[in-house]
Structure 1
Amino acid sequence: MSLARVLKYLSLFLLLVLLIASALMGGAYFYVARDLPRVDTLADYRPPVITRVYSDDGTVIAEYSRERRILVPVENLPQQLIDAFVAAEDSQFFRHQGIDFLSIVRAAIRNVQAGGIVQGGSTITQQVAKSLLLTPERKFSRKFKEAILAYRMEQRLSKEGILYLYLNQIYLGHAAYGVQAAAENYFNKDVQELTLAESAMLAGLPQAPSRFSPYRNFAGAKERQRYVLNRMADEGFITPEEARAAFAEELTIHPRVNRHIAGAAYFTEQVRRYLEQNYGEELLYMGGLEVHTSMNLAMQQAAQEAVRDNLREHDKRRGYRGPLRVLPPAEVDAFVQSQAETLGTTPPAVGSLHEAVVRGADERRLRVRLGAWNGTIERGETRWAGNIEVVAADGRPAGNAEGGRTRLPLGSVVEVRVLKINADGSLALALEQEPLAQGALVALDPGTGLVRAMVGGYDFASSQFNRAIQARRLPGSALKPLIYAAALDRGYTPATLILDNPVIYRQRSATGEETEWRPKNYDDKFLGQTSFREALALSRNVVTIKILEDIGLGYVLNYARKLGIESPQPRDLTLALGSGAVTPLELTSAYGVFASGGVRISPSYIVRIKDRDGRILESIDPADFPEGVGPGQRLLGQSPERVISPTTAYLLTNLLESAVQDGTGQRAKALNRPAAGKTGTTNELRDAWFTGYVPQLVAASWVGYDQERTLGRHETGARAALPAWLAFMQEAVKELPVEHFAVPDTIEFRPIDPRTGLLTTEDAEHLRFEAFAPGSAPTRYSMDEEHLRAQDFFRLDLEDLY
């Protein structure tokens, strides 16, 4: 056979092979392509994004997500960051049409040489196709699909559009999806603030985010950074000198960003529950809601600190319960070594709480070990725990609630607070113990109803129950101002005289048995003739019961509901003693009516909610809905409603100022500005309250045990709850101007003889300028009526006096 014929048959055979291969490839293409997702869907890229919660100044206080992602337009990304990813992942990105055959061949050779997969040949476009349109299965069919989709993407999307998808979708470790989330995670920066060195380190992560994590493997991350910088130099994006300078740059890897601000957990958890209830889990964790709240971050953190410090002080008054545990001698060194590894080499922060091991003592101090540091606790810092005696390791520990002797065996583990770091590196410490009682504090702006701070307990990590809004507890005398306000609207005045004397109430039970109720005052004393003002300031129980009986129980219950008390209340005279449970938020809201001049505004902790596209879903401001509330939108809260007159609100406020200046709330005078408030203490000292306000802010503080029991001897509202209110308010009002409570034009001031409640001359020995509603001041003078005395049952005959 001639050579020409051989070549002819060979050519025909090769043509046939080519036709068969083309047919097979075409068939495979059409078979695979028929089920491929549409590339057009990428034009509406809507990946899961973070829901963010903001305080009133725009600070992010919480984030909720399954994939921590913040979308950034490609035009807002620094060019050096784009260059770093392109150089590291796909240097031909701007030149190929979705598939880089040279990279595939090069990667195949490398993998054969390495005996395994060490390098991929996928372009950035292919990576986007795999991430957004395909499953992660490792099959040839998937690679074929990936190539087809990459080509289609290149026909329909711009290179910038593909980069937008890639740089926002890519996983970069530690729950960070996209470059913005990663910049915040590792460098605590906005992506636009990244340096060349930081950009290169991020660009080194896609290959193995966990293995090259800057947190876990900084040396490995630096090697990947070197690779990226060299690739950038090879591709002409930077000069070799710039690459060397960037590699030499010292980087600070910040601790992983915790987007739940310390001290704000009770507040943000309430927001999270609201969002989940109203929008569902999917929208909460994947929908990118933007939630603006009423929280003032400085106030919130001051409230948390005030509650915690107050509970610790209360607990110390109850005595020391002894060490957390006692380590056998053989376990002490292991405990100290483990603690040293956990704490590292940086001294613990001043004010932080830790466990320490008792190693010895002398007359002046206790010696302890805290990780790698020696520490001392001066005897003055242990005085609250009684006379501490350090005994042998086999001795029995004993805490003493009576302030007597306390035994601590060597090896005792105790809680301590760091006071300072001494010049020699040792630590000055104070003895502490975690409190058993709980507390709550809630504060709101009376003019707007916006909740500025909310603390629901000592520690959210150990108890998520929010006592500020979920716990209904007896308010005791803290409810009395509501009764006195109701009485003012029924003709009483601050100068009205009531007889504080023993009374007996008899009633029959359902079985017909007759019982007696003999109410008494906290001090077991009776003052006799007592003014309305003095009775509230000194929290006289019997007087309050008489007032309630006179004006009517039904009237007071309706009045309380009008002020915002929604919890069920008892329909008997024990209401005067605060026997009906309320939440701290309810009581704060009711006092807010007095502070606002008689206007009730429902408390709000959410100001505005937007969806990921910026559309307002909810708002407290009607101006956010200029065309009316549309589908899927909601106007939050209720319109302000006047529920009592400005005159009554001011008179009650004026009375509560007396409670601060001369009554049970005198500790609040330390605020050094006009303030009104009332203590509350329940039977057996189970609940302690102080609710008070300045013109711009009203707050309630509560202390009690979850499993109700006495707070301890003398633990009244003034002692157990007021200190937290005061500590909070001292911080909260620092930036607020000193204001006096506004006096309505209708208020009349008259000189009164407090002994009789009648007018007196301005040069009289006994004198008080008293405030009155229009026309309610007495018209007769005390000197003409000295024969009048408080008459039996409870008050003077008003018809005789006025």
Structure 2
Amino acid sequence: MKYIKPLILLAFLSVLLGCAAVVGIYFYIKPDLPSVTVLKDVRLQTPMQIYTKDGKLISQYGVKRRIPVKLEEVPEQLINAILATEDSRFYEHHGIDPIGIARAALSLVVTGEKKQGASTLTMQLARGFFLSREKTYIRKIKEIFIAWHMEQVLSKKEILELYLNKIELGHRSFGFGAAAQVYFGKPLSELTLAQLATIAGLPKAPSLLNPISGPEQSVERRRVVLLRMLDENYITKAEFDEAANQPVTARKHGAEIEVDAPYLADIIYNEMVEIYGKEEAETGGYQVFATATADVQLAAQKAVVRNLHDYDERHGYKGPLGYLFNAPDPTSTDDKIPQLSVSVDLSEKPSQQDWTEDEIVEVLREVPYIKPLVPSVVMGMEEKSITVLDVNGVSRTIAWTGLDWARRYITDFRQGDEPETASDITQPGAVIYIRQQEGEWRIAQLPEVSGAFIALNPQNGAVEAVVGGYSFYQSQFNRATQAKRQVGSNIKPFIYSAAIDSGYTLASIINDAPINQWNAATGVAWRPQNSPAEYDGPIRMRKALGKSKNVVSVRLLRGVGLRKTADYLTRFGFDPDDIPLDETVSLGSSSHSPLEVARAMAVIANGGYLINPHFISRVLDETGNELWKANPVWACARCSRDAEVAKAADIADDDIEAKLEAQLNQDVLLANSDNEEKMMAPQVITPQNAFLVGEMMRTAVRTNGNWNKKTYWMGTGWRARNILQRTDIAGKTGTTNDSRDTWFSGFHRDLVATTWVGFDNMGRQLGRATRNQNLINRNPEKFNWIGNALIGTEDGAKAAEPAWIRFMQHALADKPYSPMPVPEKIVRIRIDRTTGKLTRRSDHTTLFEYFLQGTEPTSYVRDDEVVDPAEKDTTTRPEPEEIF
């Protein structure tokens, strides 16, 4: 007994001192302990996700990958795996596991090393939120106290749910939802037991135990997790054996991108950063929805890529990227042999027999992979076909129809002879690109030419599609929104609008004759020319725009006045600083972006209203609550607001100029059919003016007149109507001097689009394409009428318009016929075809024309003024047919 009492006293004092020490330590470190109450309202750092309007993921931005999950969404096997491995007594302790601490202490005493941490899930969560991973005693003590506090504030469910979403799991994945996507490309609900056990084993050492960085260690860790599940009776022995023997199936996955539209995503990302700042935008969990739908955006991308390849193929093949084997002797040819930039020494394996397929694929993986181009090596060839091995290890045969375009590129203006056999194009060992078009593989190359495309809703400015170039991964410069290029004849509809505003009509006769103006100041004569340099003499204004007569545009500018015209152009949203104050503005010497041009064209399409383009339709927070919704200004083409505006401004209805001024200086709210208030867009030209310009632009995209009566003529964009087979479209081609920039802009009542093609090097011309007999041989009966689409100098109709047409083929496929309504005060009168005067005749020398009431002709054509085109000689006309 004399020993028992001292021992009891010693034990009591030890406990008392221990408690005092714990209390002392607690108060010592208390000032450094964070408040765990913040976890009640914790906001996980979740990346921003950008979706199409119809909910397809476009992109994800943020350093941390996180996919928040609710506890109810987590598979039970994953929860069991985590608890069995990390904290089997999770539901029994209060944040601290005494047994685990004792075990860790014993291990420290026996080994002298900190091998076991004894951390519960709560302690791990405390460390993840508030502390570092350093192995120090003071950190462990802080971890214990924070965990104990957390258990007082949060329920077990809340702690487990935070753990599942917070814990770091390697390769920038945070939380198990993100880990499932990063390592397996699937949601948690689709993972197998082996895969669940793999990610359940990551918390211990995510950088070392993940299946990508350490596959062998990951397999061993998976086995440990499965053994713990077996010990805790969560799985059977059969399930253990099956899962433990599964192969490693993990590889790094990006976000589950459903629509690859990087130019659109980049615009939206930059807008969000501008609003919220970079850190908040990338970690706030925002779900941002674009105004573009997936199918329309993809249609625009496909149209641009196809169009640039079509141009590229017209101008010839530039040869392979280099040679993997069988490289030509540089001394045997005058041409420079391209060198392949890879890490492998190609000289060590000069012949095909020296290579295995796996080795070839490894080298191909070093070649830039720019979709839709697929790096490949020519493995063999027949007379008119080749066999290639691509970067994916797939062997493909390319038939002659995928090769026959590839005559030699010499310059942008010259191409070599048509190839007769496959050996005229390439040879075994050549590293080339191939691509798929309409189900057929063909030899390809990366186009040097650039393009851009923008489509928007003319009623409210919602951007339906945007393409900034061939590939965002090749060049992040967005030519649709950032590049200002000379617009050429795309400016003419606005010049003609100014003319109508100044009293001209669609029947006004303008002299289409050469201009030779001497400039005494420079000592140089200005001689603007038509393209082609053909002149029709006196011509009606409608026909002049349809045929894009340059000298007529100059004469209209002079009739309206330079300053007045320049000021008028700003009504369409053009920056006045971009408009030169000289007569070249009538020919499109001003430089604007495709977005600016599309916005201006929308004014004509929607009846005269200047809308504001926007790319974002709505923004949600990480929980799905709507934070913001677009409230754009709307055009009034389908509502009756003129009376409301006039009443509000107390202006007489017939005082058009004063009425427009009032509309420009006030915002008018109007309830539309869905009872949502919409901000009205300012009306910048009258509905009558917009209708008349649109009528001229409809002429430009069709064939006109009657061939048999010799009144036939073709608008510069005639292929649009011919291929789309719609009469409710309008458009205008555009080509600058020396074909450095080519454009096509056009619209349907519900959709306006602009496309541009040119080189990034503004000094480089698009050149011309010579005759390719191989392409002609495919359709010899059509060459007489499609020849001008395959050969000759590049212009807006050849280089740019095909992309617009292909896009509209898709975008308008389900849209019903929807002609522009005829506004009030527009009259339709029969006139003489040649003079534009009234006529009493009703034959082919006449036609019906639209006029603004009060501007229609008042005099009748005399009999001696009537010109009968049927009495003139003409050549045989090729029958226009579809060329696509």
> Which range, TM-score by smaller chain?
0.7 to 0.9
1:208–1:472 Cα change, 3 Å: same
> How high is the TM-score relative to the length of structure 1?
0.85
Q: Gaps spanning 5+ residues in structure 2: where?
A: 327-347, 634-668, 670-676, 704-714, 769-792, 869-884
Q: Are 2:631 and 2:679, in contact at CA under 8 Å, matched by a contact in 1?
A: no
Distance 1:606 1:463 in 2: 23
Q: Which aligned pairs between 1:546-557 and structure 2 lie closer than 5 A?
A: 546-557=555-566
Pair 79,698 (structure 1): closer, same or farther in 2 beyond 3 Å: same
Structure 2 CA distance, aligned partners of 1:192 and 1:402? 57
Alignment of 1:395-410 (within 5 A): 401-404=414-417, 408=426, 410=428
User: Distance in 2 between the 1:182 and 1:734 partners?
Assistant: 41
Output aligned runs, 1:274-673, within 5 Å: 274-327=271-324, 329=326, 330-331=348-349, 333=354, 337-341=358-362, 352-370=372-390, 372-386=393-407, 401-404=414-417, 408=426, 410-418=428-436, 429-509=441-521, 513-566=522-575, 568-612=578-622, 618-621=628-631, 639-662=680-703, 663-669=715-721, 670-673=723-726
- Secondary structure of 2:151's aligned partner: helix
Q: C-alpha displacement at 1:261, in angstroms?
A: 5.5
Residue 51 of structure 1 contacts residue 288 of structure 1 at CA under 8 Å; is this kept in 2?
A: yes
The match for 1:712 is 767
Deviation at 1:56? 0.8
Shift of 1:558: 2.0
- Distance apart, 1:105 and its partner CA: 4.0
Q: Relative to structure 2, which stretch is displaced further, 42-51 or 217-226?
A: 217-226
- When residues 399 and 209 of structure 1 are mapped into structure 2, their CA distance, relative to the original with a 3 A threshold, is farther
Shift of 1:216: 6.0
Instruction: Please say if residues 748 and 773 of structure 1, whose CA atoms lie closer than 8 Å, have aligned partners that are also in contact.
Output: yes
Per-residue deviation at 1:577?
0.6
CA distance in 2, matches of 1:5, 1:788: 140
Contact 1:319 1:400 survives alignment (8 Å): no
1:148 Cα shift? Answer: 1.8
Question: 1:45-97: per-residue Cα shift (whole Å, max 9, x none)?
Answer: 12322212221112221211121223334355455543342233211111111
Contact 1:385–1:403 (Cα < 8 Å) also in 2: no
Deviation larger for 35-44 or 253-262: 253-262
Shift of residue 762, structure 1, vs aligned partner: 6.3
- 1:327 & 1:195 partners in 2: Cα distance? 42
Q: Provide the residue aligned with 2:857 in structure 1.
A: 778
| Alpha-carbon distance in structure 1 between the residues aligned to 2:571 and 2:197 | 63
- Displacement, 1:764? 1.8
In structure 2, give the amino acid aligned to 1:471: A
Instruction: Specify the code of the residue in structure 2 equivalent to 1:687.
Output: D
Distance (whole Å) between structure 1 residues aligned to residue 273 and residue 166 of structure 2: 25
The amino acid across from 1:291 in the alignment is V
Q: 1:698 aligns with which of 752, 757, 762?
A: 752
What is the 5 A alignment of 1:40-55? 40-55=37-52
Give the Cα–Cα distance (whole angstroms) in 2 for the partners of residues 586 and 169 of structure 1: 45
Quick one: structure 1 residues 651 and 185, their matched pair in 2 at CA, closer, same or farther if it must change by over 3 Å? same
How far has the Cα of 1:782 moved from its partner? 2.6
Question: 2: distance between equivalents of 1:574 and 1:545?
Answer: 8
Q: Deviations over 1:162-182 (max 9, x none)?
A: 112211101223322113323
Range with greater deviation from structure 2 (774-783 or 92-101):
774-783
Q: Please, which of 271, 278, 282 is the counterpart of residue 268 of structure 2?
A: 271
Q: d(CA) in 1 for partners of 2:798 and 2:57?
A: 36
Cα displacement (A) at 1:7:
4.8
1:184-207 per-residue CA deviation (whole Å, 9 max, x = no partner) reads 434555556667665444423323
How far apart, CA to CA, are the structure 1 residues paired with 2:579 and 2:46? 46
1:562 Cα shift?
A: 0.7
Bigger shift: 586-595 or 111-120? Answer: 111-120
Matching residue of 2:822: 743
Deviation for aligned residue 1:668: 1.0
Q: Report the Cα distance in structure 2 between the residues aligned to 1:165 and 1:777, rounded to whole angstroms.
A: 76
Return the offset for 1:620: 2.4
CA contact (8 A) 1:358 1:411 kept: yes
Indicate conservation of the 8 Å contact 2:57/2:259, yes or no.
no
Q: Aligned partners of 2:387, 2:4: CA distance in 1, in Å?
A: 99
Indicate if the aligned counterparts of 1:283 and 1:289 stay in contact, CA closer than 8 A.
no
Q: Which moved more, 1:290-299 or 1:353-362?
A: 353-362
Cα offsets for 1:217-247 (capped at 9, x unmatched): 6776566556545544544556667767877
Alpha-carbon distance between aligned partners in 2 of 1:183 and 1:439, rounded to the nearest angstrom: 38
Q: Distance in 2 between matches of 1:496 and 1:783?
A: 17
* C-alpha separation in 1, matches of 2:689 and 2:632: 30
Q: Distance in 2 between matches of 1:250 and 1:518?
A: 76
Q: Is the 8 A contact 2:827 2:850 kept in 1?
A: yes
Q: Distance in 2 between matches of 1:784 and 1:648?
A: 32
Match of 2:146 among 149, 152, 155: 149
Letter in 2 for 1:720: A
C-alpha contact 2:832 2:866 (8 A) present in aligned 1: no
Distance 1:783 1:119, change over 3 A: farther
Residues 61 and 377 (structure 1 numbering): CA distance in 2 closer, same or farther, change over 3 Å? closer
Match of 1:632 in 2: none
1:798 maps to what in 2?
Answer: none
Q: Residues 318 and 408 of structure 2 are in contact (CA less than 8 Å); yes or no, is this contact kept in structure 1? A: no
Q: Does 1:678 align with 2:691?
A: no
Change (3 A) 1:762 1:195: farther
Contact 2:562–2:583, Cα closer than 8 Å, also in 1: yes
CA contact (8 A) 1:327 1:412 kept: yes
Q: Which residue of 1 aligns with 2:877?
A: none
Decide whether the 8 Å contact of 2:398 with 2:441 is kept in 1: yes
Residues 309, 117 of structure 1: CA spacing in aligned structure 2 closer, same or farther, 3 A cutoff? farther
Note the C-alpha offset of 1:136. 1.6
Instruction: Give the CA deviation at 1:15.
Output: 4.8
Q: How many residues align?
A: 755
**Which residue of structure 1 aligns with residue 881 of structure 2?**
none
CA displacement, residues 354-400 of structure 1 (integer Å, 9 cap, x when unaligned) = 23334454432334443545444334433222279xxxxxxxx9999
Q: CA deviation at 1:414?
A: 2.0
Where does residue 646 of structure 2 map in the other structure?
none
Gap change, CA 1:76 and 1:433, over 3 Å in 2: closer
Cα distance in structure 2, aligned partners of 1:656 and 1:454: 23
Q: CA deviation at 1:284?
A: 1.5
Contact 2:370 2:471 in 1 (8 A): no
Question: CA shift at 1:616, angstroms?
Answer: 5.7
TM-score, normalised via structure 2 length: 0.78
CA distance in structure 2 between the aligned counterparts of 1:400 and 1:411, rounded to whole angstroms: 30
Letter in structure 2 aligned against 1:671: L
| Equivalent pair of 1:752/1:767 in contact (CA under 8 Å) | yes
Q: CA deviation at 1:667?
A: 1.6
CA distance in 1, matches of 2:759, 2:370: 29
